[in-house]
Amino acid sequence: MKNHYRNTISISVAYLFLCLFITYVSSQSLIRQITDDVNTNLKEDVPYVQKHQEILSRHYNVSNSKTVTGMRNRRPSTYSYKIETNVVDKFETRPFTVGGYNWILHVYLNGNTKDGGAGYVSLYVEIDKSGFVDSAHQEVYADLRFYIFNRNERKYFTIQDTDVWRFDAFNTMWGFSKVLPVDTFKDPKNGYLYNGEHCEFGVDVIVPTPFEESETFSISSSSDKYTWTIQKFSTLSKDLYSPVISLGGKKWNILVVPAGSGSGRGKYVSMFLQLSTNQRRAYEYIYVQVKFRVLNQGKLSNREREFGVWYGRSYSWGTVDLISFDDLRDSSKGFLVNDALIVEVQLEAISTTKYFP
């Protein structure tokens, strides 16, 4: 009996190990299968030319998100290429000059199979690298737009990249291997082939030149302020200008309108800050953050207005309702004491624009 019991245990243990081994092998196979599936799903089509070359301005795996397509009315502005036969499936134009360099448009009617463009029309533009003075270092950046004319809509199917394309002696040719499905292109009903075998392609090559003029706009804080005591205020009937004052490196005048201005006329005292002439250059705009105050001479709260404005089209900004006549007449409020009104302008921030050159 004991021997039979031991034999039964031995068989059970062996069977248990066998099950564990089968489970482990199956799990490893499953993991490998899942990993292979994931890696397969992560692969992306490469739409650009010359995969064997280093793509310097961007990586081809993320270029799809930067591709824009659509229909547009405007004709190509750089070069147009009309083909009246589709017996040949690969074409290239004569060189055309843009930005001091010679370029060639390449058209594959049945797709560039070497670049993964099978089943698609492929379009590229090539730069003549002999134009590089120093082939080891010189480079050219260009914006590219490719076109296919659609006779039905009288518009151009357009494809472009939102990024710029970098050309140098080692990367002379860029474009799209998958522009338009060949079936779509060759079906006469779609309008890309017309009058039998006629079709039209185009390209815009834009070589930007470095800017020669620029400007830098900045805003700096300020603690400059000017306090102005106006005597015999109740006897004033005309607008009153302060002496020329300096705030934030600029010259200004304060304008007080005792009778009020605009919607404040007859009810409020109005006040403005005016930029003196010749304090800004032509087309320059100056941004200012400023506070207007009527100081309370009874140690109570001041009357204050704050605003941010642009000086450019206008040289004068302010408030039409700084303080009411009723508050001035009420001596208990402490704004007009011994017929003296104290106003203040505090500059909190002002912009500066630097021009180059």
pLDDT of residue 93: 97
The Cα–Cα gap between 211 and 83 comes to 38
Closest CA to 167 of 208, 117, 202: 208
Domain residues of the chain, as ranges?
Answer: 60-206, 215-356
Q: Are 335 and 324 in contact (CB under 8 A)?
A: no
pLDDT of residue 11: 44
What's the CATH architecture for 60-206? Sandwich (2.60)
Q: Are 147 and 158 in contact (CB under 8 A)?
A: yes
CATH topology assigned to domain 215-356: 2.60.210
Q: Are 219 and 326 in contact (CB under 8 A)?
A: no
Token pair for 118: 């099978």
The separation between CA 79 and the C-alpha centre of its own chain, rounded to angstroms, equals 28
Token pair for 330: 């009420």
pLDDT of residue 135: 54
The Cα–Cα gap between 87 and 80 comes to 20
pLDDT of residue 1: 39
pLDDT of residue 137: 61
User: Do 60-206 and 215-356 have matching folds?
Assistant: yes
The separation between CA 6 and the C-alpha centre of its own chain, rounded to angstroms, equals 80
pTM over 0.85: no
Q: Which amino acid is at 319?
A: T
**Consecutive 10-residue runs of the chain (357 residues): their mean pLDDT?**
40 47 43 35 36 32 68 95 90 94 95 94 92 70 96 96 89 94 95 92 93 95 97 95 97 97 96 95 94 96 96 94 96 96 98 94
